Copies of this chain bind each other. A is one copy, B any other.
Amino acid sequence: MTNRRRFLIHAATACVLAFAGGVALAAEPLGSWNDGPSKARIIAFVEGVTHPGGKDFVAPADRIAVFDNDGTLWSEQPMYFQLAFAIDRAKVMVAKDPNLAKKPVIKAAAAGDMKALAAAGEKGLMELLALTHANTTTEEFAQIVRDWARTATHPTLKRRYTELTYAPMRDLLDYLRANGFKTYIVSGGGIEFLRVISEELYGVPPEQVVGSSIKTKYEVRNGQPVIVRLPEVDFIDDKAGKPVAIHKFIGKRPIAAFGNSDGDFEMLEWTTSAPGARLGVIVRHDDAAREFAYDRKSHFGRLARGLDEAPQRGWTVVSIRDDWKTVYQPLRP
């Protein structure tokens, strides 16, 4: 087959898929959302920035949308899921090498002693993360996360963590992408942890995941190059770190930002204070029956300033209880 012929066949296939996908999606955007002001605001924004010749039109290359992960795309109670991973990992590590339990924070984690873990404070937590997330190659670490994600189960909801993504937010990701947006995750969680699962859970490829990181080092072992994970923090992608990381990784200012806690405040502020149409959305956890209700009162994902300032900043506060038809739903096959 000639190159030209091969190209035309590929292009034709791509066009057919684009039409089919477009028609299916256009049938009912945000089907898992209840009708109401939140859904209407999101749709009005998307229609505005995609309307050719309209006053709010934004070229596809600049349609950048950023999403926090914990509490915005999946649940974060009773603790960040990556912390559950660290605890599970400490158990495995101590089973292999009991000497590791000499470190109090590893001992507490391996014993599932949440009180002792909490007492270790932020410093102890960072130590736990460093010890359970480092000293492997990047490829080994990805495999460890992959294996964990396949089986690990939420303590009270009794489902796998990977089944605890929010169906309405996955709908929203699809809807934005169908309208030419590039969707990024900008998470306080670990970038290498998330990248292993982001494509399957959210359709977000690794290169569109931004997160906290530890340092790494390139080296050649027996003639084979590897990248080794070091027990040293590189960057914390939270609060004022989020706009800094967005600028570093993407190099463009987003036009839409989605968060749920005060850790996302600066990301929403940076996104929505530029001229032109901008969308800032906060997911509020107010549904104790179907998910969790906490906002101002939680250790993980505390939301106070965002709630206070949302009205004057024009940010949309999404109520899980009122705005979402459904919360969790199995991943489409």
Contacts and interface: CB of A to CB of B under 8 A. Distances in A.
Interface of A: 2-4, 6-8, 10-11, 14-15, 18-19, 22-23, 25-27, 29, 47, 50-51, 61, 138, 178-180, 182, 191-192, 195, 205-207, 209, 213, 216-220, 224-225, 227, 240-241, 243-244, 247-252, 266, 269-270, 273
Contact of A207 (B50, B216, B251): B251
Contacts of A19: 8, 11
A44 to B, nearest CB: 12
A94 to B, nearest CB: 29
A45 B247 CA distance: 34
30 contacts: A3-B47, A4-B23, A4-B27, A7-B22, A7-B23, A7-B25, A7-B178, A7-B179, A11-B15, A182-B207, A206-B250, A206-B252, A207-B249, A209-B251, A213-B248, A216-B244, A216-B248, A217-B240, A218-B241, A218-B244, A218-B266, A218-B270, A219-B240, A220-B269, A224-B273, A225-B243, A225-B273, A227-B244, A227-B270, A249-B249
Given A6-B50, A27-B4, A227 B247 contact: yes
B191 A218 contact: no
